[in-house]
């Protein structure tokens, strides 16, 4: 597998150095322990918002650090959760006296490391709330398992909570809002190809030219089902049906529709996905009131897409529309 890198062991660090060189007006980069922090952190009186996870999902999360979104992001190794010492330092760096919200995707590693970090931060007298996102309908939910993965809704939650924090709303409110976004959001993804981590150099799974994986996560793990490749209209119907029927979203609902590329799928195909999703939702009487289309939560060079829906109300719509100025997402 060909990759545009210098050294497989230096990928995360060198990418951080690139971010630092490119976006010094918005963020500062710390290398030991690794984190990307809003340039003007801590913002006094504002709830700090910290997220983090394995690298390889760019622009998530580091690309979303900036005014109106995250205060800090902790990058781990590729597809590996960051460690509690990173999260603790990030929490301390963004605490402006109003407490800190951890937005955590539901992966065992992320959850365990953030739990340890929250314990440590509380030990240092910082008020911390954690919200775990778990929007992936491909995984059966159960009290007895690791539960559903946190995927696309995380990006939207970071945007909406960031806006609420800018309004100086208290920690409990921002955390409650995060839970509401997660509760009203659902996602599902599919892959046309596997991805290759720089460390292994091998595809994460073998997929035939005429096959696809339905119900993938964001770490190159295989999906729930392997199927014959189908036209975009059929794939979108498959994903959207599972999403809409799960919440369920009903006729008359207004939604934010997020069509996300997994990293290796061109925008021309994502717009075809959006076309099909728009038609499908119209058929169900659901109105797309806001949308986001592009590569925001990726799995290295994997080809494929995920669809996320968020049921909107006036407050969520207003917070989505509020300004954000980050390296990867600008709303003005």
Partner 1 sequence: MSITAADVRAWIGAYARTISEHRVELVKLDTAIGDADHGTNMERGMKAAVEKVDATDGDDIGALLKAVGMALVSKVGGAAGPLYGTLFLQMGMATTGRDSLDLAGWAGALEAGVKGVQARGKAEPEDKTMIDALLPAVEALRAAEGDGAALGDALHRSAAAAEEGMKATIPLEARKGRASYLGPRSVGHQDPGATSAHLLLQTAVETFGGAERR
**Could you list the residues that contact partner 1 (CB under 8 A)?**
33, 54, 76-85, 107-109, 112-113, 115-116, 138-140, 142, 144-146, 149, 197, 199-200, 202, 204-205, 217, 219-222, 224
Residue 219 appears among annotated catalytic residues: yes
**Strands 72-78 and 48-55, how do they pair?**
parallel
> Which residues in 175-233 belong to E strands, given as ranges?
185-191, 211-214, 225-228
Residue 57 appears among annotated catalytic residues: yes
CB of 201 to partner 1, least distance (A): 10
Beta sheet of 72-78, edge-to-edge order: 27-31, 34-38, 72-78, 48-55, 100-105, 128-133
Closer residue to partner 1 (CB): 103 or 281: 103
Nearest to residue 181, comparing CAs of 261, 94, 285, 255?
255
CB of 6 to partner 1, least distance (A): 19
- Give CA 162 to chain center in angstroms: 14
Whats the size of the chain, residue-wise? 332
Closer residue to partner 1 (CB): 119 or 167: 119
CB of 13 to partner 1, least distance (A): 14
CB of 208 to partner 1, least distance (A): 17
Per DSSP, 297 falls in state S
Closer residue to partner 1 (CB): 115 or 325: 115
Q: What helix, strand, coil percent values describe the chain, rounded to 5?
A: 35, 25, 40
Closer residue to partner 1 (CB): 200 or 282: 200
The one catalytic residue among 23, 61, 102, 219: 219
Q: Is 290 exposed, middle or buried (0-12, 13-18, 19+ CB in 10 A)?
A: middle
Hey, which residues are catalytic here? 57, 219
């Amino acid at each position: 597998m060909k990759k545009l890198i210098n050294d497989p062991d230096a990928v995360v660090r060198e990418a951080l150095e690139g971010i630092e060189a490119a976006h010094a007006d918005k963020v500062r980069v710390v290398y030991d322990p690794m984190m990307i922090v809003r340039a003007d952190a801590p913002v006094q009186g504002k709830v700090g918002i910290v997220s983090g996870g394995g690298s390889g999902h760019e622009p998530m999360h580091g690309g979303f650090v900036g005014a109106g979104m995250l205060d800090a992001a902790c990058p781990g190794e590729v597809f590996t959760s960051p460690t509690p010492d990173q999260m603790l330092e990030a929490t301390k760096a963004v605490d402006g006296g109003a407490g800190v919200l951890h937005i955590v995707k539901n992966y065992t590693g992320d959850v365990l490391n953030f739990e340890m970090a929250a314990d440590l931060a509380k030990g240092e007298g910082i008020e911390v709330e954690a919200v775990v996102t778990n929007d992936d309908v491909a995984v059966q939910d159960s009290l007895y398992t690791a539960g559903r993965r946190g995927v696309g809704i995380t990006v939207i939650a970071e945007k909406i909570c960031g806006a609420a924090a800018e309004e100086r709303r208290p920690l409990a409110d921002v955390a409650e809002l995060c839970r509401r976004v997660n509760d009203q959001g659902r996602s599902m993804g599919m892959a046309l190809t596997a991805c290759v981590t720089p460390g292994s150099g091998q595809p994460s799974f073998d997929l035939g030219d005429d096959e696809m994986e339905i119900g993938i996560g964001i770490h190159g793990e295989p999906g729930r089902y392997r199927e014959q490749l189908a036209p975009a209209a059929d794939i979108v119907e498959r994903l959207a049906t599972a999403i809409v029927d799960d919440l369920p979203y009903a006729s008359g609902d207004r939604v934010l529709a997020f069509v996300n590329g997994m990293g290796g799928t061109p925008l021309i195909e994502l717009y075809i996905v959006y076309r099909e999703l728009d038609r499908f939702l119209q058929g169900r009487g659901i109105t797309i009131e806001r949308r986001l289309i592009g590569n925001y939560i990726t799995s290295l060079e994997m080809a494929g897409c995920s669809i996320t829906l968020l049921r909107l109300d006036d407050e969520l719509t207003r917070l989505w529309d509020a300004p954000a100025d980050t390296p990867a997402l600008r709303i003005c």
